[in-house]
Chain A
Amino acid sequence: MKRRKYRSTKEDIIIDFVVYFSLIFLVIITLYPFLNTLAVSFNDALDSSKGGIYLWPRKFTLYNYRSLLNRNQIFQASLISVLRTVLSTLFCTFSTAMVAYTLSRKEFIFRKLFSFIYVLTMYIDGGLIPNYFLIRNLGLTNNFWVYVLPGLVTAFNLIVIRTYISGLPESLIESARVDGAGEFRIFTRIVLPLCKPVLATIALFVAVANWNAWFDTFLYNSSNPNLSTLQYELMKVLQSANTMTGSLEQALAQAATKSMNTITPRSIRATMTVIVTVPIAVVYPFLQRYFVHGLTLGGLKE
């Protein structure tokens, strides 16, 4: 909006007040839960249970983090979470771009058929049980690859990248072809570098979705603790609510009694939440413009 000099009327002042007041309110209710959790995670567990921790720890301690990060279970889960996020992002972005390139070639004979096959998947869904049986019959239960394989190329990402490639100048691709470059070479040398902005966006969406996923672990890999992910570990802690029923809580409570310390379910939850959220919170400020960019790429722009 253009900055203009004008006399503030009474209406202006009221509107400004309402606007700033409601935005500050929004910022507070958005940030408070995160800051409160952060404070609890750095506060002594027994002290936290007395209540009254708001934005700042009262009795500062690193014990919560030390005891959680020392657990092999958490270490292993972090490893799997990072691994699945990195691999999914790489494979998914590359293969989606590759298919998108072939579907953007106007001369490709299966262009229409393949596009249709992909687009239709946006509207049909086999349902939970048939998908479960498929994964089981493919031997992907208790298998790391169930995190990467099923969502390799999705119709939504494909269309976003395809639309972007279609907007690239055709002459670039033509001239490379005249110079004798094959399709794969054109794709890796010309199209991929030109697609950086859209690839960054898709990569970010895939990365966030993978980092945040827990349901696939729950459904397919829950009987193998070595394949657990951070989100699933946090989900288990959450589901066992305020009782020390989960195996992790029991192990931590035992360790705590040995070391003359205490740990409570609330502290475990808060600390886990921080561990799970930090990677997103750290990359978020730098990458949010790509996220927003991606939404408008999604096709709803005018």
Chain B
Amino acid sequence: MKTTPVTYELLTENITIQKKPFWQTLKKQKVLLFMSVPFVVHVIIFKYIPIWGWVLAFQNYWPQKGIFDQVWVGFDNFKWLFRDPVFYQVLRNTLAMSIIQLVFGMVSSILLALIINEVRLLFFKKTAQTISYLPHFISWVVAANLVRDALSTDGGIVNEVLMRLHIIKEPIMFLGIPQLFWWIIGASHVWKEVGWGAIIYLAAIASVDPNLYEAATIDGAGRLRRIWHVTLPSIQPIIIILLVMNMGYLLSSGFEQQYLLQNGRVIDYARVFTIYELDYGIKMMRYSFATAVGIFRSVVSLVLVFGANYLAKLLGQERLL
């Protein structure tokens, strides 16, 4: 789950009006400058110069040639991009997996938060919670290993359980079935992030006014109806806002999971943007084309993020940007 820090206030807060002339203030604040300027230069180098590298997409870039000897091709790379059938596959896969992760991730985290909130044994509550967010802190490399083991045809636990329950007769090679790949990504995402995602909803539930529960009880509501009529409506704003905000990241959600779990058989369903950029850019050395892919993703992401923020503001939650 992504969290978006409070930056709104940072941008709009008024600085105190300077009365002294600029240079004098500058001299007075030289220590502050020494403390910050080197790092601002650093961020410009590492974050802004790559943007300048976008010119590559409008050239037929060839590393052996100098910067000024490159052939300019205008929008040709983008034309090829939009004609490439693989591009549409990548777009479909990225969107499909992001949406599956978003929907199932949120639903499972909300459910878990509601369930944890109903536990009355404090020790059990703490232990279950602690264990539930452990997987968030392991790398996808490790998680992918665990997923592969669990799904293997050779004694993997999922196949074993399904066979013991007589649901299937022979082990299924889950990771070799293209149509299943999106759902495996979704399920392993839920496995890894459900506990971590629940924290935010638990915090929201904790801030619900206890009087509301009291009143509902007096009105004769049981536990289920208190959850439905008090807890859920109370956390509804945060659910909506997280949903909207995460929609901004639909194209920029991770690729490690897909990269580490994919294999040749399912690649048509596993290829997402970064894998596409890696294959065309680094492996095939079509640098300009891969840069164009990156530009497409960045620009669409930017539009999505700002769209989401705008929507969030319309919903009265400006503190989130």
Contacts and interface: CB of A to CB of B under 8 A. Distances in A.
Interface of A: 1-3, 9, 11-12, 15-16, 18-20, 22-23, 26-27, 29-34, 36-37, 49, 51-53, 95, 98-99, 101-103, 105-112, 114-119, 121-134, 138, 149-150, 152-153, 156, 159-160, 162-163, 182-184, 187, 208, 211-215, 219, 231, 234-235, 238-239, 241, 266, 269-270, 273, 276-277, 280-281, 284-285, 288, 291-292, 295-296, 298-302
- The 8 A-B pairs at the shortest CB distance, nearest first, are namely A127-B294, A126-B50, A130-B53, A212-B139, A51-B155, A298-B3, A130-B50, A33-B146
A132 B150 CA distance: 35
Contacts of B150: 33
B50 A33 contact: no
B223 A134 contact: no
A290 B195 CA distance: 16
Contacts of B49: 126, 130, 134
A158 to B, nearest CB: 9
Interface in B276-321: 277-278, 281-282, 287, 290-291, 293-295, 297-298, 301-302, 305-306, 319-320
A106 B25 CA distance: 13
Contact of B142 (A3, A22, A273): A273
B69 to A, nearest CB: 16
A160 B3 CA distance: 11
A273 B146 CA distance: 9
A107 B294 contact: no
24 contacts: A15-B118, A15-B223, A19-B119, A33-B147, A33-B157, A34-B146, A51-B154, A99-B36, A102-B32, A107-B15, A122-B7, A125-B294, A126-B49, A127-B50, A128-B294, A130-B291, A184-B34, A187-B35, A235-B260, A266-B149, A284-B134, A298-B4, A300-B3, A300-B203
A149 to B, nearest CB: 8
B65 to A, nearest CB: 14
Contacts of B53: 126, 129-131, 133-134
Given A116-B11, A126-B47, A285 B130 contact: yes
A117 B40 CA distance: 8
Given A20-B119, A31-B131, A298 B32 contact: no
A183 B207 contact: no
Residues of A contacting B: mostly: helix
A146 to B, nearest CB: 11
A75 B120 CA distance: 47
Given A125-B301, A150-B46, A234 B135 contact: no
B229 interface: no
B150 to A, nearest CB: 6
Given A11-B222, A159-B6, A273-B145, A129 B157 contact: no
Interface stretch (B89-97, B98-106, B109-117, B177-185): B109-117
Given A124-B51, A129-B290, A134 B56 contact: no
A181 to B, nearest CB: 11
Given A19-B119, A99-B36, A115 B11 contact: yes
A10 to B, nearest CB: 9
B59 interface: no
Residues of B contacting A: mostly: helix
B7 A128 contact: no
B42 interface: yes
A138 B252 CA distance: 26
Contacts of B117: 1
A280 B8 CA distance: 34
B145 A106 contact: no
A36 B287 CA distance: 43
A19 B116 CA distance: 8
B282 A127 contact: no
Nearest to A160: B5
B29 A288 contact: no
B211 interface: no
Contacts of A129: 53, 56, 277, 281-282, 287, 290-291, 294
Which of A117, A273, A280, A291 neighbours the largest number of chain B CB atoms within 10 Å of its CB?
A273
A240 to B, nearest CB: 11
A9 B222 contact: yes
A131 B278 CA distance: 12
A22 B5 contact: no
Given A37-B146, A130-B56, 7 more contacts: A109-B15, A109-B22, A117-B43, A133-B53, A134-B45, A162-B10, A302-B203
Given A2-B210, A19-B119, A215 B256 contact: yes
A156 B10 CA distance: 13
A33 B149 contact: yes
Contacts of B306: 123
A33 B161 CA distance: 14
